[in-house]
Amino acid sequence: MSDHDHDPGDNSTGHEWDKIRELKNTPPKWWAIGFYAGLFFVTCYYIIYPSSPFNNGIQKVVNGVTGMEVMVNGHTKGIMHLVNSNPYYQGVTWTQEEISELQSRGYNELTIKAGDLKYQDGWTYVNEARDETAEIEAVRQTYMDRIDNMTVGEMLADEEIKDFAMGRARVLFGDNCAPCHGSGGEGRVDGEYSFPNLTDDDWMYGGWPEKIVETITIGRVGVMPAKGGDPSLTDDDVNALAKFVIALSKGDAVLDNAGQLTKGGEEHRAANAKFQGLCFACHGAHGKGSLANGDAYTGAVNLTDKIWRFGGDMETVVETIALGRSAHMPTWGEPVDGLAPRLDKNSIKILAVKVHSMGGGAEKPPTM
């Protein structure tokens, strides 16, 4: 309970609760300095920066008396409004049609006229951010102007430009490529869909700079017909071909450039006869894919390595042969359905530098 009986010399107010007395001692000097410094800072801040909140009713009265937008968007403009003009403003004002349209969506007129949908004159944090962004864009534009007249090969050879492109590509790749190929370009298999790994040196259409630009620009459409286009192929034939393809990948069966079996047993020899009749047109008589034949447009994969797009187990290979596969990479540099290309030519070149540098980019087309 509170006890008002106290010793007049103990410097207390006479209030005590649970043996805790309220004293009249002077606060510590450090506390007082901090308090007054904080009060001074807040006062200066309110004077210099947009800060003091007022409701729209007060804003209308003050603005009506002064004939100016002294108070906008719920705050005063501060001294910064007088000493720092907004280079983006340039007298831009709202039309009555614009105001009416936004009012129909629930905005009041003062909020509309002061909002970020149109630039405000004077200093604001938003305008300061615009200034900083403009400075960054100015530096970036010098590099983009240089890139405009360079090939991807030249960009790769110029360390300064390559470093810029790799930094810029982080956003471009993340926004446009990562959803399919993964954030690190490692690719992924998602049910019936498969997205190639960009970090190895296994290419279907080619990994030299010009070819990567072409792939990104026009996109790719790959189709493997069911049963190699021969509906008369039996289940036994499909199983034999699947075992043969797996043997090719493991090195248990080897083909020369003419399609002759140089390693493997009789079961492989019989399966190779089917392979040479159905599969050689795309994958080559040697099974090394269309690129090994100098064909950078078909996109038939190399069957003699250990890299699989949809999976290399027996069940998946049988499914691939029996049902076929189709894959589509959209175009990024050509108009689609009357719409503008998704990426401009410089963005495509920057992405090509990124993809080329991810692990397996080639300097030039393969020599046949």
Instruction: State the pLDDT at residue 212.
Output: 96
pTM, rounded to two decimals = 0.70
| Domain co-membership, 188 together with 280 | no
Instruction: State the pLDDT at residue 123.
Output: 73
| Domain co-membership, 272 together with 313 | yes
Whole-number Å distance between alpha carbons of 268 and 364: 35
| Domain co-membership, 273 together with 234 | yes
| Domain co-membership, 259 together with 320 | yes
Q: List, as one string, the DSSP characters of 10-37.
A: G-EEEEEETTEEEE-PPPPHHHHHHHHH
Judge whether 126 lies within some domain.
Answer: no
Find the CATH number of the domain harbouring 344: 1.10.760.10
Judge whether 58 lies within some domain.
Answer: no
Whole-number Å distance between alpha carbons of 332 and 343: 6
Q: Hunting for tokens 């900083």 — which residue is that?
A: 132
Confidence of residue 1 (pLDDT cuts 50, 70, 90): very low
Instruction: State the pLDDT at residue 85.
Output: 64
Q: List, as one string, the DSSP characters of 134-197.
A: HHHHHHHHHHHHHHHT--HHHHHH-HHHHHHHHHHHHHHHHHHTHHHH-TTS--EEETTEEE--
| Domain co-membership, 215 together with 339 | yes
Q: What is the pLDDT of residues 320-337, one digit of tens each?
A: 999 999 989 999 999 988
Which residues have C-beta within 8 Å of that of residue 204, sequence separation ≥ 6?
196, 220, 222, 289, 290, 291, 299, 300, 301
| Domain co-membership, 187 together with 253 | no
Q: What is the pLDDT of residues 211-268, one digit of tens each?
A: 999 999 999 999 999 999 999 999 999 999 999 999 999 999 999 999 999 998 888 9
185 pLDDT above the threshold of 90: yes
Instruction: Give the number of other CB atoms < 10 A from CB of residue 18.
Output: 6
| Domain co-membership, 325 together with 200 | no
Judge whether 128 lies within some domain.
Answer: no
Please give the tally of structural domains in the chain: 3
Whole-number Å distance between alpha carbons of 245 and 162: 40
| Domain co-membership, 234 together with 296 | yes
- H/E stretch holding 40 reads helix 29-48
Judge whether 188 lies within some domain.
Answer: yes
Percent of the chain whose pLDDT exceeds 90: 54
| Domain co-membership, 283 together with 245 | yes
Q: What is the pLDDT of residues 95-116, one digit of tens each?
A: 778 778 777 877 666 555 544 4
296 pLDDT above the threshold of 70: yes
| Domain co-membership, 256 together with 319 | yes
Judge whether 202 lies within some domain.
Answer: yes
Please give the average per-residue pLDDT across 80-90, as a whole number.
65
Instruction: State the pLDDT at residue 12.
Output: 80
| Domain co-membership, 233 together with 311 | yes
| Domain co-membership, 227 together with 319 | yes
Long-range contacts of range 210-216, CB-CB < 8 Å, 24 or more positions apart?
A: 210/151, 210/152, 210/153, 211/296, 211/365, 212/152, 212/352, 212/355, 212/356, 212/361, 213/152, 213/348, 213/349, 213/352, 215/329, 216/332, 216/333, 216/343, 216/348, 216/351, 216/352, 216/355
Q: What is the pLDDT of residues 25-81, one digit of tens each?
A: 888 999 999 999 999 999 998 888 877 666 556 667 776 777 666 655 556 777 887
Kindly report which listed range (67-81, 135-149, 270-284) carries the lowest average pLDDT score.
67-81
Instruction: State the pLDDT at residue 5.
Output: 59
190 pLDDT above the threshold of 80: no
Judge whether 26 lies within some domain.
Answer: yes
Average pLDDT, the chain: 85
Please give the average per-residue pLDDT across 158-182, as a whole number.
95
Instruction: Give the number of other CB atoms < 10 A from CB of residue 262.
Output: 9
Judge whether 114 lies within some domain.
Answer: no
Judge whether 346 lies within some domain.
Answer: yes
Range(s) of the domain holding residue 213: 150-219+331-356
